Amino acid sequence: MTTNPRRDRNLEDGMIMEPSERSIVVHRAPIWRDRADYIFRAAIPDPAPTASIEQLWGRKQGHLIEVCCIPYFLYDVNLGDLVSLSDENTLESVVEDKGHCTFRAFFSEHLESIADVDRDLRGRGAGTEWLSNRLVALDAPSGEAASELSAFLATLENRGVLEYETGRLRSP
């Protein structure tokens, strides 16, 4: 597992950006779109070469927001977590960690067919959100599922198919 496969990559080919002085990564097909009723933003730590903000989908839960997408670039923010927002509608903190684990995989070559890879990942219990034909954010709903997904991704990384990282730097 590499420490940060996005740091040295130009992801512009898959970056979906809004025209502005600050580029924004958006989720076109959030995994829990049917639950979502709110959009908010988060600053990307150690920003990707072409973006500094990630737009996230969520669901209002009282004064908190449930994360309804798999973050592409954030750490320790996972699908299902309850988060608080600032007055500027920007992520402040994770208030309740729901135990999901995020992974990101960067494929070494442009995939001709995302569908086959996506089907294989989903068959292993992973939720997926694709930013491009090379970058996918993956959700493992539990620690056990995360261990299994990590082992599978490590096998692919050892074969040179992809590089991957976990989006979880601290324990739930």
Q: Which residues contact 74 (CB under 8 A, 6 or more apart)?
A: 42, 44, 45, 54, 91, 102, 167
At residue 116 the predicted structure's pLDDT band, cuts being 50, 70 and 90, is confident
- Where do runs of H (alpha helix) occur along the chain? 114-123, 143-158
**Is residue 19 pLDDT above 70, yes or no?**
no
- Of residues 9 and 90, more confidently modeled: 90
The C-alpha atoms of residue 27 and residue 135 are separated, in whole angstroms, by 13
**Is residue 48 pLDDT above 80, yes or no?**
no
The C-alpha atoms of residue 100 and residue 102 are separated, in whole angstroms, by 7
What is residue 10's predicted lDDT score, i.e. its pLDDT?
38
What is residue 160's predicted lDDT score, i.e. its pLDDT?
87
What is residue 47's predicted lDDT score, i.e. its pLDDT?
59
